[in-house]
Amino acid sequence: MAVVNPPANHDEKIEEQRAKMSFLFREDVAPGLRLEMDLNKIFFDGESEFQKIDVVETYFGKTLVTDGKTQSAQLDEFAYHESLVHPSLLRSAFTGNPPKSVFIGGGGELATAREVLRHKSVERCVMVDIDGKVIEVCKKFLPEWGGETVTSNKRFELVIGDAHKWMMETEEKFDVIIMDISDPIEAGPGIMLYTKEFYEHALTRLNMPGGVFVTQSGTADAVPAAHQSDRTTDTSCYGPIHNTLRSVFDCVVPYSTNIPSFGGDWGFMMAFQAPPGKDDKALVEKEWKFPSSPAVIDDLIEQQIEGGADELGLYDGDSHVGMFSLTKALRNLLKKDKRIMTRDNPVFMY
Amino acid sequence: MAVVNPPANHDEKIEEQRAKMSFLFREDVAPGLRLEMDLNKIFFDGESEFQKIDVVETYFGKTLVTDGKTQSAQLDEFAYHESLVHPSLLRSAFTGNPPKSVFIGGGGELATAREVLRHKSVERCVMVDIDGKVIEVCKKFLPEWGGETVTSNKRFELVIGDAHKWMMETEEKFDVIIMDISDPIEAGPGIMLYTKEFYEHALTRLNMPGGVFVTQSGTADAVPAAHQSDRTTDTSCYGPIHNTLRSVFDCVVPYSTNIPSFGGDWGFMMAFQAPPGKDDKALVEKEWKFPSSPAVIDDLIEQQIEGGADELGLYDGDSHVGMFSLTKALRNLLKKDKRIMTRDNPVFMY
Amino acid sequence: MAVVNPPANHDEKIEEQRAKMSFLFREDVAPGLRLEMDLNKIFFDGESEFQKIDVVETYFGKTLVTDGKTQSAQLDEFAYHESLVHPSLLRSAFTGNPPKSVFIGGGGELATAREVLRHKSVERCVMVDIDGKVIEVCKKFLPEWGGETVTSNKRFELVIGDAHKWMMETEEKFDVIIMDISDPIEAGPGIMLYTKEFYEHALTRLNMPGGVFVTQSGTADAVPAAHQSDRTTDTSCYGPIHNTLRSVFDCVVPYSTNIPSFGGDWGFMMAFQAPPGKDDKALVEKEWKFPSSPAVIDDLIEQQIEGGADELGLYDGDSHVGMFSLTKALRNLLKKDKRIMTRDNPVFMY
Amino acid sequence: MAVVNPPANHDEKIEEQRAKMSFLFREDVAPGLRLEMDLNKIFFDGESEFQKIDVVETYFGKTLVTDGKTQSAQLDEFAYHESLVHPSLLRSAFTGNPPKSVFIGGGGELATAREVLRHKSVERCVMVDIDGKVIEVCKKFLPEWGGETVTSNKRFELVIGDAHKWMMETEEKFDVIIMDISDPIEAGPGIMLYTKEFYEHALTRLNMPGGVFVTQSGTADAVPAAHQSDRTTDTSCYGPIHNTLRSVFDCVVPYSTNIPSFGGDWGFMMAFQAPPGKDDKALVEKEWKFPSSPAVIDDLIEQQIEGGADELGLYDGDSHVGMFSLTKALRNLLKKDKRIMTRDNPVFMY
């Protein structure tokens, strides 16, 4: 069949017709819960030796999808990447040690590196990602994520390889270590990067004092599903990652940001050692989470970030306070969770 | 986020993970009824000046989709195109006039022409389709539909243009006229090609005797939705097309074929004049629908089709009988319908 | 939140709003292919000891759904039940033995019995279904399927029990045995009813001559998915059921009917012995599939069915010819299939 | 068709089978974005003279759905209702005027009243909702939301009627006015309750000083869709409601809570007058949003709430800080919006 002669009201009618049909992208959020989006465009559909790779356009704008899972989307990638990067690098500066060297595990979209390179003090940013094809695809189709501007930056070093192996073998130390890797799902490759053993090793790779470790930590809704009366556990890994880091680091600071394209609030976890002479670890955590004033953060942004506050879309002093103020429901979830993730006893997220 | 080091059971687990997510293609079949397919691959995503054009892979194999509507699919395009073409061309031969010239209105996938060109008697096949881009895309991504083999055939002439306009202006006559055009939907461009006025004109463009007109006629389920107690009308155009052709031609023969990728049974309608001296039009119709034996059709196939029966996947004598044996429910629907489609009073399919 | 004061155009706007949202019923048709329907009403939502039972309203009207699978729907249940019952009972009459006793395995909706009881010659109809709850629900919510009218009929005997066990233990013989049971899916309970062993036993339970065995046989699209170039097998059981019956009975006659609510063409299989003295089994089959004239069937309907042709919506002489005229593609599928279903080697449908 | 004899592994297999099919609830979140949930149970399916009413069970637990829109769900209704009620009633107490009288517009689920009645100082709570049927259904199927316990409370008065009309006619004044009504959608009945005219009237119905007005304000994602480069406006009403209240009240305090069952972060807006002698309205707002310490809120909870902190699942001092810390992205959205909602120029949410 084929089109022949368009009638007068063709345009108007065709729009109605198009509204009735769809290419769609449907993604699991939890068992029995899915996000469904219109699939407006497909920019790229291919695969690497590690995964299926798609670049599509949905409600959330251009989106990188690997193995059917949203990695980051135009609408809110800035929220994810700013949340992952700036609290840690500014924490380092807050302690009087503006970060010079940063390690990124994963980070294929290059946007994590983009945010790291905004920091004037950073002299070296090493990123180790196993999938060179993802990086190529992002450079071509998602240049706003960082692309060529990042890879051609002299302070940036890209290693195509296994981040776990690289970390285990390197003798280098870093001021900040950022884990921008897939969730600890059973099918996922990064499960070893969410273990006590890895965190113990990572601690040895941090310059002290001032060194900060941060990892994305999966879904962390303000109202955890575990609250529901007939569910004894939730399907997130926010609690186990929290406990596991606590078993290694002096201070662990969980925080979260709403990332609509990820289906809700998203969790992050910073970990660092208490400064020499500061014995009250809870106080150290609290002084960072809720500084005397939001202006403390805003001042750090002006000092550290090239271009200052204008360059950031999500993060500032007020946002900082919100990000670190977990709800009572989410704090209760963290309190109740006693699991520790090890090589022999991993915990899988849905 | 990005992949890091794949675990031992990566492959197996990743398959499970992939099964949980999806790109999808969802297509309306009727109000409140949809087909939903996994979208395995996207070969092409673009648009012409007339429509959005996609070539994708679903359950039905490679599929041409325009403006979100399946045009034909690898699994069953042979069923659609054989059903559209062979009964008409063989009818012509059956009357002792093996067809030499054939007109195709629409037909952008080139598969209708592919089937026409199988007929040894055909010397000239003119195809007029408005959307050159669809033809290009089909040649590149759906070569099995016909592609280069069709367009380079010396008996084939391609006109990029408006089939309605071309027909109204031509002085040429044809042995068979095949309308392989979009359904008469309100948004559709082809609505004029489903009117009494057009059919009257088409009759003047047929060589007599032996000339046959055939049109695809939209959905024609064996169990029409109109049967449902609380529905007074159905959403198909099978009845109106039948009546409208009957108001113009001596003989009209409705038939149908199951085309799974179209969501069910699909309708076609042949129309022709009674041979000189044959006054009982119903008998003329019946002698064609139910020949004395299926072998009559099988013999015509051997005579007319290059390569004979082996070349066809759906159509033969037994299939012919099945295609022309409408169910009681569908025959009742046709009987009850009194609508005639004219320019001033078109009837729209859902 | 709650409604407050409706504005003037409330009704019109609320309709638009409702169109944007949905309760849905989505059913797998094949791997990667689903039917999705608006769920307009839920009449019943419960479960028996055997299965989840729902009575809902979709595009196909009121529908019985068990374990998420459509069992029969208002729009086309007549097509399914007429196809299952009449060809077999009339075959029996055609051989000069109007059926007096009929066994129904399964049949919980009561509509199969409804059709059987239309036959004037039937004196006894025994139905054995394991799930009494389904029968109750159908009587209450789907009275048009048969309901009280069937169960109060003196010729009807209902046994709540295991049809397989009942058949293995009974010493009674029947003129017609009808298997109206779930598809042979891996999760399904009826798998033993699709084995060579069961068919051999069933043959011993048929009165001869004239005895007919018929079973619903799952999906049987006119264009089988197996045709697709990169698929070596299809997901239906039409071929295996055909072969298995052929290994037991003299004559096996496959046929199909379009049942839109089942997602396409649906398969049935009749089996019987060649009459004494008729050695050409293929001829015996053919004489039944394509009687000398459709009038043969129409006459049988008038003789056998109380009320005659007016009572039937789908089946008559012309429909009979169509139902038994399988397409070349489907006949090829049957020819290629060599599997036989036994207790030890069952074949599962998707 | 019907079930017969279950095989040994029936249970396990049937679970797999059930996983393949679904009743679903799909709800629009924004144009091109939907939440899709498994529909595990349907407790009630009916309608009132105002709307379709369903009580179902999804991922979010038992859920009240009217006209296809989630009203509140078991998993997180506590988060919604605590957020709507406690900040306002405690604000009143914070100013030294523990609230005695509270008006609820809408509130049919009774959970808003449930939270109000936890406050020891409250002597009278009047709730005006137009749809008595919703209240009946909630009492029967969602007793945990409040039910009989609320309606039999002597401090509670229920009026079935039009909240707008009631407010326009009453001479009574309240300490707190809570608008728990549908979003201002075009189809929605409550559009008049989101206008400058209504807010002006509501201000006259507040006891001073200490009177607080609060309204649910629709979706308020931390990362507003308006940020996306090619969208000039967003589809929420958070900005317009904010502006409109600002045009009437001295102080307006926007806040938000993550409500997963609503598809993301949800907005609320408190409004009140500056206390006598406090001219710096921004400072008045700030002192409430970020009290000198979270303990200020925790103390108020202990004083005011029967049973104290143990009764609340979401709200406490730390949560308060998080709820009132809007992200930079959301604050920017509010700043840019200049629309004011009036009767003659309403603004509709998607």
Alpha carbons within 13 A on the beta-carbon side of D161: 14
User: Under an 8 A CB cutoff, do C327 and B319 touch?
Assistant: yes
Contact A36 D26 (CB under 8 A): yes
φ, ψ of residue D204 to 5 degrees: the values are -70, -15
- Kind plus residue range of the DSSP H or E element containing B240: helix B238-246
pLDDT of residue A280: 95
CB-count burial class (<10 Å; 0-12, 13-18, 19+) for B277:
exposed
Confidence band for C235, pLDDT divided at 50, 70 and 90: low
Instruction: Extract the tokens encoding A99.
Output: 């970060």
Q: Of A273, A255, A249, nearest to A331 (Cα)?
A: A255
Identify which of D324, D320, D339 has the alpha carbon closest to the alpha carbon of residue D226.
Answer: D339
Residue of D nearest to A298 (CA): D328
Q: Do A3 and B130 touch (CB under 8 A)?
A: yes
pLDDT at A184 over 90: no
Query: Are C55 and C142 a contacting pair, CB within 8 Å?
Result: yes
Residue A246 and residue A237: Cα distance in Å, rounded?
14
Chain D residue with minimum CA distance to A39 = D32
Shortest CA distance from B21: residue in chain C:
C32
A127: pLDDT confidence band, cut at 50, 70 and 90? very high
Instruction: Report the residue of D1, D49, D159, D178 to disrupt the C interface, i.e. the one with the largest count of C CBs within 10 Å.
Output: D1
Cβ-defined contacts of A231-236 (< 8 Å, 24+): A234/A333, A235/A30, A235/A31, A235/A349, A235/A350, A236/A267, A236/A349, A236/A350
Please report residues of B whose CB lies closer than 8 A to that of A85.
none
pLDDT computed for residue C236 by the predictor:
82
Residue from the list D22, D41, D131 with its beta carbon closest to the beta carbon of C3: D131
pLDDT at C228: 53
pLDDT in tens, A203-223: 999 999 999 999 999 999 888
Examine the pLDDT at B80 and tell me if it is beyond 70: yes
- Cα–Cα distance for residue pair D74/D57, rounded to 1 Å: 9
Contacts of C230 (CB under 8 A, 6+ apart): B61
Angle, alpha carbons D126-D131-D136 (nearest 5°): 85
Nearest residue of C to residue B76, measured between CA atoms: C223
Judged by CB atoms closer than 8 Å, whether chains meet at C328 and B319 is answered as yes
Per the model's pLDDT, the better-predicted residue between B164 and B6 turns out to be: B164
Nearest chain B residue to C332 by CA: give it: B313
Q: Which of B129, B175, B180, B221 is catalytic?
A: B180
Q: Is the pLDDT of residue B10 over 50?
A: no
Do C and A touch, 3+ Cβ pairs within 8 Å? The answer is no
Under 8 Å CB pairs connecting chains A and B tally to 218
DSSP output for A66-128: ETTEEEEETTTHHHHHHHHHHHHHHHHHHTT----EEEEEE-TTSHHHHHHHTBTT--EEEEE
CB–CB contact A7 B42 (8 Å): no
Share of chain A above pLDDT 70, in %: 89
Which of A21-30, B97-106, D149-158, D242-251 is the least confident region? A21-30
Q: Which among A74, A319, A329 is the nearest to D79, CB-wise?
A: A329
The per-residue pLDDT string of chain D (350 residues; one tens digit each, 9 = 90 and over) reads 544 444 444 455 445 444 444 899 999 888 889 999 999 888 998 899 999 999 999 999 999 999 889 999 999 999 999 999 999 999 999 999 999 999 999 999 999 999 999 999 999 999 999 999 999 999 999 999 999 999 999 999 999 999 999 999 999 999 999 999 887 766 556 788 899 999 999 999 999 999 999 999 999 988 888 655 444 455 688 999 999 999 999 999 999 999 999 999 999 999 999 998 899 999 999 999 999 899 999 999 999 999 999 999 999 999 999 999 999 999 999 999 899 999 888 887 76
| B263 or C1, greater pLDDT | B263
In chain A, which residues have their Cβ closer than 8 Å to the Cβ of B189? 3-7, 10
Let me know: does D199 contact D271? Beta carbons within 8 Å: yes
CA distances from D218 to C201, D242, D332 (A): 66, 11, 17
CB B102 within 8 A of CB B124: yes
Structure tokens at B145: 């539909």
Is there a contact between C112 and C91 (Cβ–Cβ < 8 Å)?
no
Instruction: For chains D and B, tell me whether 3 or more CB atom pairs sit within 8 A of each other.
Output: no
* Residue D250 burial (10 A CB sphere; 0-12, 13-18, 19+): middle
Task: Compute and round to an integer the Cα radius of gyration of chain B.
Answer: 21
For range C226-231, the mean pLDDT: 53
**Contacts with A180 from chain B: Cβ below 8 Å:** 1-2
**B39: nearest CA in chain A?**
A23
Mean pLDDT confidence for B66-94: 96
Nearest to B134 among A2, A130, A185 (CB): A2
Whole-number Å distance between alpha carbons of A70 and A53:
10
Shortest distance between the Cα of B254 and any Cα of chain C, in A, equals: 13
- From chain C, pick out residues whose CB is under 8 angstroms from the CB of D72: 1
C-alpha–C-alpha distance, residues B186 and B350, integer Å: 8
Counting CB pairs under 8 A, whether chains A and B reach 3 or more, is yes
Length of chain C in terms of residues written: 350
Q: Where residue C216 falls among pLDDT bands split at 50, 70, 90?
A: very high
Chain D nearest C-alpha distance from A163 (Å): 31
Q: How confident is the model at residue C223 (pLDDT cuts 50, 70, 90)?
A: confident
What type of residue sits at position D43?
F
Closest chain C residue to the Cα of D26, Cα to Cα: C22
Residue C187 has its nearest CB partner, among D16, D54, D185, at D16
Cβ separation C314–B331 shorter than 8 A: no
Q: Give pLDDT tens digits for C157-197.
A: 999 999 999 999 999 999 999 999 887 766 556 788 899 99
The pLDDT of residue C25 is above 50:
yes
Please tell me the distance in Å from B49's CA to the nearest CA on chain A: 11
What phi-psi label fits residue A54: left (phi over 0), alpha (psi between -120 and 50 degrees) or beta? beta
Per-residue DSSP letter, C59: T
Chain D contacts of C344, Cβ < 8 Å? none
Question: How many angstroms from the chain centroid is the CA of residue B198?
Answer: 18
Beta-carbon separation of B21 and A1 below 8 A: no
Chain B touching partners, 3 or more CB pairs below 8 A: A, C
Of the partner residues A61, A312, A322, the one whose CB lies closest to the CB of residue D325: A322
Per residue, the 3-state secondary structure of A262-291, as one string, reads HCEEEEEEEEECCCCCCCCHHHHHHHHHCC
Which residues of chain A does B183 touch, with a Cβ-Cβ cutoff of 8 Å? 1
Contact across the interface for A67 and B21, Cβ inside 8 Å: yes
Q: How far is Cα D162 from Cα D131, in angstroms, rounded to an integer?
A: 9
What pTM did the predictor assign?
A: 0.89
- Chain A neighbours (≥3 Cβ pairs under 8 A) are B, D
Asked if pLDDT for residue A299 goes beyond 70, the answer is yes
Contact status, residue B150 vs residue B186, Cβ threshold 8 Å: no
Q: Which chains touch D (3 or more CB pairs under 8 A)?
A: A, C
Contact A227 D313 (CB under 8 A): yes
What confidence score (pLDDT) does residue D22 get? 81
Q: Is B158 helix (H, G, I), strand (E, B) or coil?
A: strand
CA D125 to chain centre: 17
Summarised one tens digit per residue, pLDDT across range C323-342 is 999 999 999 999 998 999 99
Interface contact flag, A190 B5, Cβ < 8 Å: yes
A131:B2 CB<8 A: yes
Output the average pLDDT for chain B: 90
Q: Which of D175, D180, D221, D337 is flagged as catalytic?
A: D180
Q: Cβ contacts of residue A136 below 8 Å, gap of 6+?
A: none
User: Would you call B4 and A129 a contact, using CB atoms and an 8 Å cutoff?
Assistant: yes
Chain D: closest CA distance from residue A1 (Å) = 29
A163: nearest CA partner in chain B? B4
For residue range B181-240, what is the model confidence (pLDDT) as tens digits? 887 766 556 788 899 999 999 999 999 999 999 999 999 988 887 655 444 455 688 999
- Give the separation between CA C337 and CA C224, rounded to whole angstroms: 12
Give the sign of the dihedral formed by CA B91, CA B97, CA B100, CA B101. negative
B180 flagged as catalytic? yes
C322 and B319 within 8 Å at the Cβ level: the answer is no
- Distance of alpha carbon A16 from alpha carbon A13, whole angstroms: 5
User: How far apart are the CA of A195 and the nearest CA of chain D, in angstroms?
Assistant: 29
The pLDDT-based confidence of A347 (bands split at 50, 70, 90) is confident
Cβ-defined contact of B79 to C30 (cutoff 8 Å): no
ipTM: 0.90
Nearest to D227 among A75, A228, A321 (CB): A75
When pLDDT is averaged across residues C193-219 and rounded to a whole number, the result is: 95
- The position carrying tokens 């449930």 is D114
User: Distance, in angstroms, between C218 CA and closest chain D CA?
Assistant: 11
What is the C-alpha radius of gyration for chain C, rounded to an integer number of angstroms? Answer: 21
What does each C-alpha distance from A86 to A83, A150, A157, B107 come to in angstroms? 6, 17, 20, 58
Distance CA B237, CA B227 (A): 15
Extract the tokens encoding D324.
Answer: 């009132």
Buried b (16+ CB within 10 A) or exposed e, D303-338: ebbeeeeeebbbbbbbbbbbbbbbbbbbebbbeebe
- How far separated are the first and last CA of chain A, in Å rounded? 44
Residues of chain B with pLDDT > 90, as a percent, come to 76
Q: Identify the bridge partners of residue D57 per DSSP, sorted by sequence position.
A: D41, D62
Neighbours of D145 (CB within 10 A): 25
- In the predicted structure, residue A14 carries a pLDDT above the cut 90: no
Report CB contact under 8 Å: D319, A325.
Answer: yes
Residue B285 C-alpha, separation from nearest chain C C-alpha, in angstroms? 14
Of all residues in chain B, the one with the smallest CA distance to A189 is B6
